[in-house]
Amino acid sequence: MDEGFQPVAAVVCRVVPQRRPSGGEDLVAVEERADDVAALVVALRLPDERSTEGICTMELPFVPWLALLDAQGRWVRPGVPIDVCGKPRQEFRAAYDRLPAERVTTRVLREIESDEAVASGCSQRWADMVWVTGQFGGDQGTTPGVLAADDADIRVCIYQVPESEQGGGKPAGDFRSGGELAAGRWTAVKRELTAAGPAAACRTPASRFAVLHLPTGFVYVEADGCRRALIETTAGPGSLRQGTTKLTSLLFDQ
């Protein structure tokens, strides 16, 4: 960037997560503007350094989407000077970090977490690990580890698997409901899991699944399809078991 263009302001565009007052989180596009750009312009006009034949670190520092404006409203996207390792020069990075930018606009791109998921203590998306494990025939004959005590605090999260994800390599489900498992229900669920035998081979993907968050690990249960359960606890190796109608009713008919 030569002396023929005299910037008076800078515009920076970023994509960042933003928490809503109601608890959820969105991915938003943010436009920021800075009117004090003297230090930034000095740094941008520095030359590239000659490449080194020595050792460089592997990290790649963030390079912002940046535009400079002059007094007539014209704008340019400046190049960023690089150091001997081909990374943005430290002078530019320091000037950018100190840039006194103020937010001008915010636009929601998509939801990251719903208010309901946050309130329930569940994640917005979760992988169907029963299907992932079953694809490779893993853990069918493994004896499950010891499950949490009857009075343990257990959270259950229910996920819906979109048709486009069903049967894939690692299908992800979208949050539908969740919360603490009702008193006494974990005892009944635990009884069904303990009595369940090894899962039969099956290639029918589930449209819904539950994730039980235990103090010592996780339990996954399919609502339909093969109706299998995967027990993963710190007390033993993972175990793929054959679920029952009663087990699915205890978790999905609340």
Number of domains in the chain: 2
pTM of the model: 0.78
Write down the H helix ranges in 124-242.
129-135, 185-195
pLDDT > 80? residue 235: no
Residue 202: the pLDDT is: 85
Domain assignment present for 159: yes
Q: Which residue has the higher pLDDT, 146 or 40?
A: 40
Residue 4: the pLDDT is: 84
Confidence of residue 254 (pLDDT cuts 50, 70, 90): low
Q: What is the DSSP code string of 91-136?
A: HHHHHHHT---EEEEEEEEEEEE-HHHHHHT--SEEE-HHHHHHHT
Confidence of residue 208 (pLDDT cuts 50, 70, 90): very high
**Considering 67, 94, 110, which residue would you say is the last residue of a domain?**
110
Residues 181 and 105 in one domain: no
| Apex 32 CA angle, 31 and 38, nearest 5 | 140
Residues 144 and 218 in one domain: yes
pLDDT in tens, 5-44: 999 999 999 999 999 999 999 999 999 999 999 999 999 9
Residues 106 and 120 in one domain: no
Asked if residues 175 and 116 have their Cβ atoms less than 8 Å apart, the reply is yes
* Range in 94-108, 150-164, 180-194, 233-247 the model is least confident about: 233-247
**Considering 64, 94, 110, which residue would you say is the last residue of a domain?**
110
Residue 63: the pLDDT is: 87
Residues 86 and 127 in one domain: no
Residues 165 and 95 in one domain: no
Residues 140 and 226 in one domain: yes
Residues 44 and 165 in one domain: no
Residues 141 and 245 in one domain: yes
Domain assignment present for 45: yes
Domain assignment present for 1: no
For residue 5, which phi and psi values (nearest 5 degrees)? Answer: -115, 120
Residues 190 and 175 in one domain: yes
Domain assignment present for 2: no
What domain range is 47 assigned to?
7-110
Q: What is the mean pLDDT of the chain?
A: 92
pLDDT in tens, 156-188: 999 999 999 999 999 999 999 999 998 789 999
| Nearest-10 Cα torsion for 239, 176, 150, 241 | -20
Residues 127 and 240 in one domain: yes
Residues 127 and 194 in one domain: yes
Residues 34 and 105 in one domain: yes
